[in-house]
């Protein structure tokens, strides 16, 4: 019985430490201005296109002076009818303000990314939101 209690206590301590460490490594989502982009590729199964896109996008985000929260995603297999998993990649960025997002649109790293990759996609949809 004592062994079970000690084991449970140790598991709780390890879990608490793990959660605390993960929380410290998280980038907090900025609620001021969100910029969500969905990309549909011409050839979504082409691995060379995907590699090119990911490398260019990561280079761009590493050099953006305006984007704060930076999330690149791929669709999970949808298990509910309301989930749209037809896109190839998603991008979620946050900004300090609408003005910072406007400046991001014309910053050189963003323009280089578009130039390098625009031939890969057939459709792009953007959803911008200001926090309430």
Map tokens 């303000």 to a residue: 97
| HEC sequence for 64-130 | CCCCCCEEEECCCCCCCCCCCCCCCEEEEEEECCHHHHHHHHHCHHHHHHHHHHCCCEEEEEEEEEE
Angle between helix axes 98-106 and 108-117 (nearest 10 degrees) is: 60
Report, at the CATH architecture level, how domain 33-130 is classified. 2-Layer Sandwich (3.30)
State both tokens at 14.
């390890």
This prediction's pTM: 0.76
pLDDT surpassing 80 at residue 8: no
**Cα 36 to chain centroid, rounded:** 9
Each residue of 119-128: pLDDT tens digit?
A: 999 999 999 9
Domain ranges for the chain, please list them: 33-130
Measured at the CA of 37, the angle between CA 32 and CA 40, to 5 degrees, comes to 170
Residue 57: which of 110, 124, 123, 119 has the closest Cα?
110
Each residue of 46-95: pLDDT tens digit?
A: 999 999 999 999 999 999 999 999 999 999 988 899 989 999 999 999 99
Mean pLDDT over 20-30 rounds to 49
Q: What per-residue confidence (pLDDT) applies to 22? A: 38
| 95 touches 32 (CB < 8 A) | yes
pLDDT band at residue 27 using 50, 70 and 90 as cut-offs: low
């Amino acid at each position: 019985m004592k062994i079970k209690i000690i084991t449970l206590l140790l598991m709780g301590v390890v879990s608490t430490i793990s959660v605390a460490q993960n929380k410290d490594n998280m980038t907090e989502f900025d609620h001021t201005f969100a910029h969500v982009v969905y990309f549909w590729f011409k050839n979504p199964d082409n691995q060379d296109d995907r590699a090119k896109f990911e490398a260019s996008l990561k280079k761009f985000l590493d050099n953006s002076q305006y984007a704060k929260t930076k999330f690149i995603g791929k669709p999970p297999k949808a298990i509910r009818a309301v989930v749209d998993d037809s896109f190839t990649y998603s991008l979620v960025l946050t900004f300090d303000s609408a003005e910072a997002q406007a400046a991001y649109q014309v910053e050189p790293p963003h323009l280089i990314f578009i130039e390098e990759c625009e031939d890969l996609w057939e459709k792009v949809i953007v959803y911008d939101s200001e926090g309430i």
